Structure 1
Amino acid sequence: MARIAIDMDGVMADTAQQFINYYEQRYGVRIDKETLNGHPETGGFPHEKGIIRSFLFEPGFFRTKPVIKDSQEVIKALQEKYEVFIVSAAIEFPGSLTEKIEWLQEHYPFISWQNIVFCGSKTIVQADYMIDDHIKNLQHFKGEALMYTAPHNINVTDYKRVNNWEEVGQLLL
């Protein structure tokens, strides 16, 4: 059975929308998601990216991220055809570990704890496919790399791109 490694943040959990939500709560200004296109992940906001990056260390940031549309249904269907692993470079933000587990249990209860991998670097990951939104995670991957579209990678052209979970399903199911 072929194996798929799926990133969590920016692929299953909408990190860009969470930054927008937190920014609006703090500063009362709603940012349009399209204005983030082409900026680094914590860029594109009126305040410096250090302020935006600080949201990553706030309790609840990872626990309350919105689910990306259609990801639940497509991932559940992928499990019938593939060995599916959720792979997250979570160690940089140790406070996120419990929040990510709880988020997965709530939104993806059909994913076994045995299929969740938290790591520091994804260079160790071996699979047939990897779906990720960051170049750093795809550039050393030996299988077929699929770039999941996010505002920070909109201008990247080096990888096969999937824009949404409907496209993932069309490609892999």
Structure 2
Amino acid sequence: MKKTIAIDMDGVIADVEEQFLSWYHRDYGVRYTREYLIGLNEDNAFPERGVIRKFAHTAGFFQTLPVMPGAVDAVKRLMDNFEIYIVSAAMEFPLSLGEKLEWLKVNFPFIGWKNIIFCGDKSIINTDYMVDDHIRNLDSFKGKPIMFHAFHNVSYDHHVRANNWNEVIALLEADL
């Protein structure tokens, strides 16, 4: 039986950082860089407090997310040796449910519906590994967590960090 991996969507296979920066520039006329965001959190990432939550509650936000570099090829490769589940705490943003499902159909059509889990609290996930960018999800996880690098988690070091998909593959394949 294959080992199992829960893979988060936002910030792991979907590039929300790029979307935040792009939408902020579109709406406020100021272009910030990824480096600007480093060390900030989602509440104070931009001068206008709450703008990230505003974007996440806007129709079209999740359906138009760019794919994280290397994610498609990495997930396909991992499927050779692991059972993959895409897991998203989508309940926080009700508009995201349909949009995330459509996004997965377009960008990850090889992931079957039985391997997509939309939930509110990821502490119920019982896979062998979890790749996620949020500490709150990794801290409660009972398997082996892998923290995917994001601007909001740079000051944390109590989980194994992967800065990109090549590092995720190396960590998981080394553990086979």
Which ranges in structure 1 are unaligned for 5 or more consecutive residues? none
* Residue identity (%): 50
- Which residue in the other structure is 1:154 paired with? 154
What is the TM-score when the length of structure 2 is the normalising length?
A: 0.95
- Which residue in the other structure is 2:135 paired with? 135
Contact 1:16/1:41 (<8 A) preserved: no
Which ranges in structure 2 are unaligned for 5 or more consecutive residues? none
Contact 2:62/2:100 (<8 A) preserved: yes
Do structure 1's residue 110 and structure 2's residue 110 form an aligned pair? yes
- Which residue in the other structure is 1:43 paired with? 44
Q: For 1:40 and 1:91, locate their aligned partners in 2 and report how far apart those are by CA, in whole Å.
A: 20
AA at the equivalent of 1:81: N
What is the TM-score when the length of structure 1 is the normalising length?
A: 0.97
Q: For 2:121 and 2:172, locate their aligned partners in 1 and report how far apart those are by CA, in whole Å.
A: 25
Q: Where do 1:113-128 residues align within 5 Å?
A: 113-128=113-128
Q: Where do 1:7-156 residues align within 5 Å?
A: 7-48=8-49, 50-156=50-156
Contact 2:42/2:52 (<8 A) preserved: no
Q: For 1:45 and 1:35, locate their aligned partners in 2 and report how far apart those are by CA, in whole Å.
A: 9
Q: Report the CA distance shift for 1:104/1:13 in structure 2 as closer, same or farther (over 3 A).
A: same
Q: For 1:51 and 1:123, locate their aligned partners in 2 and report how far apart those are by CA, in whole Å.
A: 27
Q: For 1:43 and 1:14, locate their aligned partners in 2 and report how far apart those are by CA, in whole Å.
A: 19
Moved over 3 A (4+): none
Q: For 1:74-130, what per-residue CA distance to the aligned partner results, in whole angstroms no more than 9, with x for missing partners?
A: 101111100100000000111100100000010101100110000000010001100
Range that drifts further, 51-60 or 111-120: 51-60
Q: For 1:42 and 1:111, locate their aligned partners in 2 and report how far apart those are by CA, in whole Å.
A: 32
AA at the equivalent of 1:23: Y
Contact 1:129/1:145 (<8 A) preserved: yes
Q: Shift in Å at residue 169 of structure 1?
A: 1.4
Q: For 2:170 and 2:51, locate their aligned partners in 1 and report how far apart those are by CA, in whole Å.
A: 38
Q: Shift in Å at residue 42 of structure 1?
A: 4.0
Contact 1:36/1:43 (<8 A) preserved: no
Q: For 1:139-161, what per-residue CA distance to the aligned partner results, in whole angstroms no more than 9, with x for missing partners?
A: 11111000000000011111000
Q: For 2:52 and 2:149, locate their aligned partners in 1 and report how far apart those are by CA, in whole Å.
A: 20
